[in-house]
Amino acid sequence: MDELTHASVPAFSSISLTPDNLAAMQAHVSSLAPQEACGLLAGWQVSDRFIAVEAIPVTNILHSPVRYKMEPHEQLETFNRIESAGWELVGIFHSHPAGPVGPSATDIAEAYYPGLIYLIWSCSASRWSCRAYRIRSNEVEEADLILTDHLPPR
Ligand SMILES: [Zn+2]
């Protein structure tokens, strides 16, 4: 991929969440390091604008520093919980405690939800950062991560 061309393309998707939700997610992913953490984002979606109201951790059954797989029963329970709350599944988050910043080759190959946002936490020199992506047909596109206490009305 041509990095310069990629960087000059504006993001078409965005995900909004509150600073409190982001801080809670960071506390969770950092508490599990050096293992990868993972979970689901609940909220709603208006075309390519995603709003996440909650980040729900799911156990990484691989307990690996470089891979994640959600515990299937817990994942299903979380899907059900999201649905019964009247929300939609809008994204998947996971962490890269030892990098890389963006999606790994495995993440791209195993991105089964082109309609969702992938939030990826990465850690470098003890500092965590979070970025958002769409992964569709093996193409990675960064999405805008919007932090706000005033989520748009549904
Ligand atoms: Zn990954």
What pLDDT, in 10s, does the model give residues 107-144? 999 999 999 999 999 999 889 999 999 999 999 999 99
List the structure tokens of 53: 């109201």
Report CA-CA distances (Å) from 41 to 22, 48, 56, 81, 116: 11, 15, 6, 12, 9
From CA 128, how far away is CA 122, in angstroms rounded? 6
What does the block give as tokens for 31?
A: 């508490």
Find residue 150's DSSP bridge partners.
none
Tell me, what's the pLDDT at 1? 43
What residue type is assigned to position 108 of the chain? I
CA geometry: angle 48, 49, 54, nearest 5 deg:
125
36 a catalytic residue? yes
Ligand 1 centre distance from Cα of residue 98 (Å): 10
The conformation of residue 38, written as its DSSP 8-state character, comes to E
Decide if pLDDT at 6 tops 60. no
Catalytic one of 3, 36, 83, 142:
36
- Give Dmax over CA atoms of the chain in angstroms: 43
Which alpha helices (DSSP H) does 57-98 contain, by range?
72-84
Evaluate the omega torsion of the peptide bond into residue 19 and state whether it is cis, within 30 degrees of 0. Answer: no
Taking the centre of ligand 1 as the mean of its atom positions, its distance from the CA of residue 14, in whole angstroms, is 20
DSSP structural state of residue 73: H
Q: What is the mean pLDDT of residues 31-46?
A: 97
- How many whole angstroms from 37 Cα to the centroid of ligand 1? 10
99, with CB counted inside 10 A (0-12, 13-18, 19+), is exposed
Residue 58: CA atoms inside 13 Å, Cβ hemisphere, count? 26
Asked if residue 147 has pLDDT above 50, the reply is yes
Average pLDDT, the chain: 93
Q: What was the pLDDT predicted at 9?
A: 57
What's the whole-number mean pLDDT along residues 55-76? Answer: 97
* 3-class secondary structure, 107: helix
pTM for this prediction:
0.91
Report the separation in Å between the CA atom of 24 and the middle of ligand 1, taken as the mean of its atom positions. 19
Q: Residue 152: which pLDDT band, with cuts at 50, 70 and 90?
A: confident
Does pLDDT of 8 surpass 70? Answer: no
